[in-house]
Amino acid sequence: MPDRIVTASAADGSFSIVAGITTALVRETQSRHELSPTASAALGRLVTGATLLGASLKGKERLSLQVAGDGPLRGMAADVTLLGPSSIGARGYARSPRADLPLNSSGKFDVAGIVGGGHLQVTRSFEVGQPYVGIVALRTGEIGEDIAGYLADSEQIPSIVALGVLANPEGIKAAGGAVAHVMPGADERTIRTLEERAATMPSITAQIDAGAGPEEIAHSLAGDLGLRFLGEYDVAFACRCTRERVEVALLALGRDELAKIVREQNGTEAVCEFCKKRYVLSAPEIEDLIARLPGRSPAAGP
């Protein structure tokens, strides 16, 4: 089943839901970074959560989630952009991708343990103007609860966030999630019903593994609270790195540092944190970069 998310709202407008499947996205993220099982669960949840929140993006806006934790994972990041009017691109990385922990006392991946304590930073970058940055302390390190905490504390949107990654020795078997936003004016019964459904419904990954699509996941969370489906998005792994971006970063080092690289290393290479693509620049290519910088020629001497 291809990765896809859907958006919906309650018939009475009391809440909205974004639900989706991200199995292929998480599988590719795991493969590119050679993630351990527990790291796969942690980063998979973060990338999935970012993708679901990405349904609110418009035009060239971008959404980034960064987790800074004191656990063995040492932090991770995910960001999403719109690839088109009905397509979302996402990517992510972990600082210590091969860090791992035994299963917890419930027999599940110890995501909280590998993440540790710390904070979640959410950045919304717009086509024009300054980005919006919100930072909240991690509530549990389980990612779903932490994203819900951010939405409640920084955006004043009471939300229920359910995220899951199911893995076996062969790799990622299922991944996906759902986010329910409670709208202003919703009564306590609606909130209580959503909370009860989130606590009692089959896990997201169990539903996906059994063949459920995004619509079924949304209905599972909403229960007997009727839904109107509003839109859908295809989801894919997508990285924004380019050789031009690498060159801009190198130019920022300045003439002296670039000359040192030519002299001592005879070239350099850069590896994208998100997709692991390698960009190799030879000494002559770096000399061409130096020639683009203002000021004296590299052959002019002191």
Which CATH number characterizes residue 195's domain? Answer: 3.55.30.10
d(CA 209, CA 50): 21
Phi-psi region of 110 (alpha: psi -120 to 50; beta: other; left: phi over 0): beta
Same domain, 156 and 19: yes
- Percent of the chain topping pLDDT 70: 97
Same domain, 255 and 229: no
Same domain, 192 and 258: no
Q: What pLDDT, on the 0 to 100 scale, is given for residue 170?
A: 79
Lowest mean pLDDT among 27-31, 92-96, 199-203, 291-295: 291-295
Same domain, 161 and 82: yes
Same domain, 23 and 151: yes
The CATH number of whichever domain residue 287 belongs to comes to 3.90.1280.10
More confident residue, 97 or 169: 97
264-288: b or e for each residue (b if 16 or more CB lie within 10 Å)? eeeebebebebbeeebebeeeebee
Same domain, 137 and 78: yes
Lowest mean pLDDT among 13-17, 168-172, 204-208: 168-172
What is the residue range of 165's domain?
4-237
Taking 60 as the threshold, does the pLDDT of residue 302 lie above it? Answer: no
Q: Which residues, at least 6 apart from 149, have a Cβ–Cβ distance to it below 8 Å?
A: 120, 136, 137, 138, 139
Number of domains in the chain: 2
| SS3 category, 277 | coil
How large is the C-alpha radius of gyration of the chain? 22
pLDDT digits (tens, 9 = 90+) for 180-236: 999 988 888 888 889 999 999 999 999 999 999 999 999 999 988 889 999 999 999
Q: Give the chain's length.
A: 302
Partnered with residue 5 across adjacent β-strands are 20, 233
What's the pTM value of the predicted model, to 2 decimals? 0.93
Query: Does residue 45 lie in a domain region?
Result: yes
